[in-house]
A and B are shown apart, each in its own frame.
Chain A
Amino acid sequence: AQSVTQLDSQVPVFEEAPVELRCNYSSSVSVYLFWYVQYPNQGLQLLLKYLSGSTLVESINGFEAEFNKSQTSFHLRKPSVHISDTAEYFCAVSKSGATNKLIFGTGTLLAVQP
């Protein structure tokens, strides 16, 4: 069975510092990887996704993630965070060959402090 692991339930960081949110997946088949962000009292928004091609994917608000097949990881990074980045971040995987299902990790709360 495939799964997604986000080891860090909460990551506190000071404003303008860099951050990395970790995501590892387990799967024996090709996967498609997503990062979603959930701001307080809101639904989920797609941040970025990896389907194929370049292993480094970027979002419009400065986040990037790198697909690493050998380490089965898809870590999310930002070189300098803002207070407004405070939110819950979910890594998710959908599996090639399966029906259209997203499997979410348990989420990481990014808490940006001034």
Chain B
Amino acid sequence: DTEVTQTPKHLVMGMTNKKSLKCEQHMGHRAMYWYKQKAKKPPELMFVYSYEKLSINESVPSRFSPECPNSSLLNLHLHALQPEDSALYLCASSQEGSLPPTDTQYFGPGTRLTVL
């Protein structure tokens, strides 16, 4: 099973809403990632969790709050987003997340977020 699942597939929210994105993998991977991808652009790394600890935060605004409740789950809590936050949010996982960075990252299908 090399699948990373993400829910929901689509999400429309207002600027005052609170919502969460969910990501799950059952490959025994110990590193999980959140990326943001705008249309016609490459993915941009937001957060990396390694062994359930936040190891990288790419200066993401605090209106995005990641959470890793266990080694299989990764959440992204959203609050007071702006319209420019509308994008495809991709989750990925890899085996170790440690050095050297040779791990293959497996991506989920993404959640398409629209902020009104």
CB contacts (< 8 Å) of B101 on chain A: these are 32, 94-96, 98-102
User: Cβ of A90 < 8 Å from any Cβ of B?
Assistant: yes
B43 touches A101 (CB 8 A): no
For chain B residues 17-45, which have a beta carbon within 8 Å of chain A?
31, 40-43, 45
A99/B56 contact (C-beta < 8 A), A43-B90, A43-B107, A46-B104 known: yes
A102 to B42, CA, bound (A): 11
Number of contacts between A and B (CB, 8 Å)? 69
Number of interface residues of B (CB under 8 A): 30
A97 to B6, CA, bound (A): 31
Please give 19 more A-B residue pairs, beta carbons under 8 A apart, in addition to A102-B105, A107-B41: A32-B101, A34-B104, A36-B107, A41-B109, A42-B109, A43-B4, A43-B107, A44-B43, A90-B42, A95-B101, A98-B99, A99-B55, A99-B56, A100-B50, A100-B97, A100-B101, A101-B48, A102-B45, A105-B42
A96 touches B100 (CB 8 A): yes
User: Cβ of B71 < 8 Å from any Cβ of A?
Assistant: no
- Chain A 49-86 near chain B by CB (<8 Å), digits 1 or 0: 10100000000000000000000000000000000000
Looking at the assembled complex, report how far the CB atom of B52 sits from the nearest CB atom of chain A, in whole angstroms: 15
Number of interface residues of A (CB under 8 A): 25
What are the 4 closest A-B residue pairs judged by CB atoms, nearest first? A104-B42, A43-B107, A94-B101, A44-B107
B109 touches A43 (CB 8 A): yes
CB contacts (< 8 Å) of B98 on chain A: these are 100
CB contacts (< 8 Å) of B66 on chain A: these are none
A45 touches B105 (CB 8 A): no
Looking at the assembled complex, report how far the CB atom of A49 sits from the nearest CB atom of chain B, in whole angstroms: 7
A45/B107 contact (C-beta < 8 A), A100-B31, A106-B41, A106-B42 known: yes
Chain A residues proximal to chain B, CB less than 8 Å: 32, 34, 36, 41-46, 49, 51, 90, 94-102, 104-107
A107/B90 contact (C-beta < 8 A), A43-B109, A46-B104, A49-B104 known: no
